[in-house]
Structure 1
């Protein structure tokens, strides 16, 4: 792998050009060292850790995250990942056979599976708004969503940054339009935190969830769920444990308490979120906002480079892109039903023959497929030139 001055802070395999930060993230060494510190603290005296120390550590970590995302600390809770957050919301709400759950064709696959499950269990209907890709302007997203709204629409799940296509959706406008019609919105911000500046409260959604392990580079198992104060009494974690029974001496709300403790677990990833914020903010003069801008600017250069090699027009306007960018590839073959760990032949070829780790995925459905680039601080232009050269060889 070609390296730069930031690569030394990560444990990434030096033999591989890792262009897929978007799938699972990657944590820098100082953050992992902090996690090991908390794990050792836990194992030295487990009872003292959980009974005497964890409460303060947890709420201090949550306070730091709340400040970073511009939310009240009483309105956010930690969850293991954004999918857990969406599960907590949809499993907490009541749906009837006449209700409709609305999302888009860019929805994250796991969340679509969840919505199908909820609909199958309750008799509700899943409605998909088709947002075009390639796309010319973000108004097309709002128009597509609103075109599917009717008096049966109970809730909408909208991605902040889409997973397959890497598009920034105009969530503030969509939330405003849906709210005016009496419809609550869940915003799935899995790719937003650490990729673009985030002010959760200004979005106005009833619910917002995001991963800390992706672009913020916290350890795996750290994410947050924001629930607007007027909705908190009806939202519960998927796992109900001791705090489900409220106690008058408890200084925290029932909402906070239930998510605070869902059973014995290694919660060290939560506690490392302040360290991740601190470290990512320290890498460049100008802090994490400068880092986000640097990643986006490089991603836009990659957009031009790969589009030229594939002889295609850029698939989205610049103002809809951040650290992710997706490009249509020539159609592959339809594999039929495929497992979770299915790997497209082009993705496999790039990894085996060119030592490039990058995802190739079907969108909107087989045989149509995309290749998606990710740009994190440890990536740089020469790596994507290597990718461009490989694609030129593969597709001629």
Structure 2
């Protein structure tokens, strides 16, 4: 789909649709997303409906409403709604699968060096408890081809490999991994894949049936722009008997025969606010309505904007583009000069001083990632409907200025 260059200069969706602070140049949709005002209003109406008749809503209506919401989401991600349940977020989805499965001493759990820190921690946790061993595949960045990625992952496979945990879209580097090839190659070696698809829904087209991964989890609050607290967990039918929710509740001993135990258990894990999950179809509808071509146009437009923004940054910094365009969705990462000891954050969620200076001195919100080690820095930009190319040109100018100050001091 061709995207007019003017679209990159003028946002396709006016900022009035979003509750973002108009005084901040927000280039970090990828971290937590932002939910449109209209969808938040829809969610608030659901909350008031619940509070007016809480027993009626939670006991008599909720299951049917969740079924409708799951069906809408399933259609969007190319899945059977019977194979999909809601979870609060992808980290919960990853933990749910890992803590449901049984591993033994000597088993190997494969992960890449680009795995999201929280989910890598979950993998380490279950490995430590079971005596299994985590094997790390070193996927390069910069990277030149999908063959490089696939070869790096398969190099970590042994006869003892029981499961692979792989990001679909990497948080730190923004790389779209060649998931179809990876899932297929691993399956041919008898290895199930748990796909951490936190960023994928709404960024890249999905067909989970066709992908065929044993387990797939994703967020709805990021690129689908749903309220916080809505994520999906897709479990292939032949694996559903293995997977239990993190919270065991009434469904564990239910005598019902009208639906699967998988749906019964995940459908009720205690009292919670289901409004975010029930708002997902409205988010799909509303955000999709903001572009004439719907979601395909939105994904294509954001992809083109991310590519154009990356070119601006690389030119300003005098660095090469770190990967081919096929690896880029709505996010792109660019390498920055290595940080001096005084610039290194003390913990994973502490920000580099450079990130603080961009926010304080220039009112630009953009993440700077410590990867692959504490002193090496990546700047990761996101492109969403409310962004336009001049914002990245502003970032490039501010970045050059702040790096010059950093060198001089």
Mark yes or no: TM-score above 0.5: yes
Q: Indicate the residue corresponding to 1:380 in structure 2.
A: 388
Q: Indicate the residue corresponding to 2:93 in structure 1.
A: 85
Name the CA distance, whole Å, in 2 between partners of 1:186 and 1:107. 12
Name the CA distance, whole Å, in 2 between partners of 1:303 and 1:360. 14
**How far did 1:337 drift?**
8.1
Name the CA distance, whole Å, in 1 between partners of 2:45 and 2:345. 44
Q: TM-score by structure 2 length? A: 0.94
1:322 and 2:329 aligned: yes
Q: Indicate the residue corresponding to 1:167 in structure 2.
A: 175
Q: SS at the partner of 1:315?
A: coil
**How far did 1:334 drift?**
4.7
Q: Which runs of 5+ in 1 are unaligned?
A: none
Q: SS at the partner of 2:63?
A: helix
Tell whether the 8 Å contact from 2:336 to 2:377 is kept in structure 1 after alignment: yes
Tell whether the 8 Å contact from 2:355 to 2:368 is kept in structure 1 after alignment: yes
Name the CA distance, whole Å, in 2 between partners of 1:118 and 1:24. 26
Q: Indicate the residue corresponding to 2:223 in structure 1.
A: 215
1:296-327 deviations in whole A, cap 9, x for unaligned?
00110011110111111001100110100001
Name the CA distance, whole Å, in 1 between partners of 2:348 and 2:358. 20
Q: Indicate the residue corresponding to 1:289 in structure 2.
A: 296
Q: Give the CA RMSD over aligned residues.
A: 1.3
Q: Indicate the residue corresponding to 2:186 in structure 1.
A: 178
Tell whether the 8 Å contact from 2:345 to 2:374 is kept in structure 1 after alignment: no
Q: SS at the partner of 1:219?
A: coil
Aligned match of 2:312 in 294, 305, 318?
305
**How far did 1:339 drift?**
3.3
Name the CA distance, whole Å, in 2 between partners of 1:156 and 1:341. 26
Aligned match of 1:65 in 73, 90, 95?
73
Name the CA distance, whole Å, in 1 between partners of 2:165 and 2:211. 14
Aligned match of 1:146 in 147, 154, 161?
154
Name the CA distance, whole Å, in 1 between partners of 2:390 and 2:255. 58
Q: Which runs of 5+ in 2 are unaligned?
A: 1-8, 405-409
Tell whether the 8 Å contact from 1:218 to 1:273 is kept in structure 2 after alignment: yes
Q: TM-score by structure 1 length? A: 0.97
User: How many aligned positions are there?
Assistant: 394
Tell whether the 8 Å contact from 2:197 to 2:216 is kept in structure 1 after alignment: yes
**How far did 1:340 drift?**
4.6
Name the CA distance, whole Å, in 2 between partners of 1:331 and 1:6. 37
Q: SS at the partner of 1:209?
A: strand
After TM superposition, the structure 1 = structure 2 runs for residues 227-266 of structure 1, keeping only pairs within 5 Å, are 227-248=235-256, 250-266=257-273
Q: SS at the partner of 1:101?
A: strand
**How far did 1:175 drift?**
0.6
Q: SS at the partner of 1:379?
A: coil
Q: SS at the partner of 1:166?
A: coil
Q: SS at the partner of 1:146?
A: helix
Q: SS at the partner of 1:280?
A: helix
Tell whether the 8 Å contact from 1:334 to 1:366 is kept in structure 2 after alignment: no
Name the CA distance, whole Å, in 2 between partners of 1:251 and 1:16. 51
Tell whether the 8 Å contact from 2:302 to 2:384 is kept in structure 1 after alignment: yes
Tell whether the 8 Å contact from 1:16 to 1:356 is kept in structure 2 after alignment: yes
1:364 and 2:402 aligned: no
